[in-house]
Amino acid sequence: MLTGIYEQNIDAKGRVNIPAKFRSSLGETFVVAFGAVFDENCVNVYPVEQWNVFMERVAQIAPEDRAMMMRYIHSHSAECALDTQGRAVIPPDIRKDAGLTKEIVVVGEHTKVEIWSLDNWKKYSDNKIDMDKVSSIAKSIGL
């Protein structure tokens, strides 16, 4: 299960320590994608199985838009693997797009992991998480 939040640093070579708790769920190889594809300024990290589910949905897009979406998504994503120390190199273009420099936050999000710059995470969590709405939604589903 991919849950939890971890503050850490990305090194000068673009390596991110993937928390041990996430490694088995992500598998030996996984896909990183710039979150702007999903209207978020972060990096999404998908286990291959979840990436394939996502891409199956993209494949259902109307033919006149499908190629454009496929090109955009695949040009902003990469297949990655862990090194022997549990780190993954985030490609430079994806790091730049997401604003990953030094301080980052690694967040479990059920079926994927998100990697945010600490600044972007603070902006998001301070401005976009509406606790009244969270409480209302939780109550509506019996939590």
Q: Which domain holds residue 24?
A: 5-118
Residue at 72 is within a domain: yes
Tell me if 141 is assigned to some domain. Answer: no
Answer for the pair 104, 16: CB distance below 8 angstroms, yes or no.
yes
Q: CATH number, domain at 58?
A: 3.40.1550.20
Residue among 92, 101, 129, 100 nearest 116 (CA): 100
Question: Within a domain: residue 131?
Answer: no
Residue 92, in any domain of the structure: yes
Q: Is residue 128 part of a domain?
A: no
Is residue 123 one of the residues assigned to a domain? no
- Which one, of 111, 41, 33, lies nearest residue 75 by Cα? 33
Number of structural domains found in the chain: 1
Q: Is residue 39 part of a domain?
A: yes
Residue 141 and residue 120: Cα distance in Å, rounded?
A: 29
Q: Report pLDDT digits (tens) over 68-111.
A: 999 989 999 999 999 999 999 999 999 998 999 999 999 999 99
Question: Residue 32 domain-assigned?
Answer: yes
- The tens digit of pLDDT for each residue in 101-132 reads 999 999 999 999 999 999 999 988 877 666 77
Q: pTM for the whole thing?
A: 0.86
